[in-house]
Amino acid sequence: MAELVPFAVPIERDKTLLVWELSSGPTAEALHHSLFTAFSQFGLLYSVRVFPNAAVAHPGFYAVIKFYSARAACRAQKACDRKQLFQKSPVKVRLGTRHQAVQHQALALNSSRCQELANYYFGFNGWSKRIIKLQELSDLEERENEDSMVPLPKQSLKFFCALEVMLPAYDCRSPGVGLVEEPVDKVEEESGKIAVEYRPSEDIIDVRCEEELHGLIQVHCSPWKQYGQEEEEYLSDFSLEEEEFRLPELD
């Protein structure tokens, strides 16, 4: 059965590995490099994060590794658990556990992450994209307010983007649209990007005008700040107690 890999920040427990019993000798940067090299052999990694052990524990480090694919994470766990890998002592690797009461909404990947994921699975030349329409909607709202007695200052910039992703090898095209809004007082602080939500489609569609988009794709307004959020908020949901990952005793 095929696995669905969404273009979203991986937060599922079956895509997250907890690695501990890491040696205290190397620096955190050196461990990050060694972990990335070892675990990227099993699939594309979203992140590798290394943390020092708690003060009450023995000196050393533990790591949180996120895969885009649950199957890749499972293969890595089975292959690396209780293996020495890059150090003299074996490490322990478990799939992450998340408190059931905590739930988070999946965040869309930024543009560079999307391209990295597409290149990994489709190949660098295995896909392409084209912009169908790009329009600033904040100007339209200003014109609607021109008849008011008191001119209203521009509160935000709003952009609409419709594009199409093509997979030539599969003779498949997927149209998608995105709507993003940014407060004016923050425009100068961050570079402009368009957030696009894709709607998979197996139909071959050639969209040439705006009217053809009606009824075909749906616009979703996404808060811009969500694309700048880091994954720190998810780390507190994982339990790092070794007791929870202890293997059953062998007969």
- Domains identified in the chain, total number: 2
- Which of 15-24, 131-140, 174-183, 242-251 bottoms out in mean pLDDT, i.e. has the lowest? 242-251
Are residue 180 and residue 151 in the same domain, yes or no?
yes
The confidence score (pLDDT) of residue 203 equals 42
Instruction: Look at residue 65 and tell me if it is in a domain.
Output: yes
Write down the pTM of the prediction: 0.67
Instruction: Look at residue 224 and tell me if it is in a domain.
Output: no
The confidence score (pLDDT) of residue 78 equals 96
Of the chain, the percentage scoring pLDDT greater than 70 comes to 63
**CATH number for position 60:** 3.30.70.330
pLDDT exceeds 90 at position 30: yes
Instruction: Look at residue 203 and tell me if it is in a domain.
Output: no
Residue 163's closest CA among 113, 122, 199, 125? 199
Instruction: Look at residue 33 and tell me if it is in a domain.
Output: yes
Instruction: Look at residue 227 and tell me if it is in a domain.
Output: no
Are residue 122 and residue 91 in the same domain, yes or no?
no
Are residue 85 and residue 19 in the same domain, yes or no?
yes
Segments forming the whole domain that contains residue 50? 13-95
Are residue 32 and residue 91 in the same domain, yes or no?
yes
Q: List pLDDT tens digits, range 55-111.
A: 777 889 999 999 999 999 999 999 999 999 999 999 999 998 655 545 667 788 888
Are residue 68 and residue 123 in the same domain, yes or no?
no
Highest mean pLDDT among 75-89, 110-124, 166-180, 222-236: 75-89
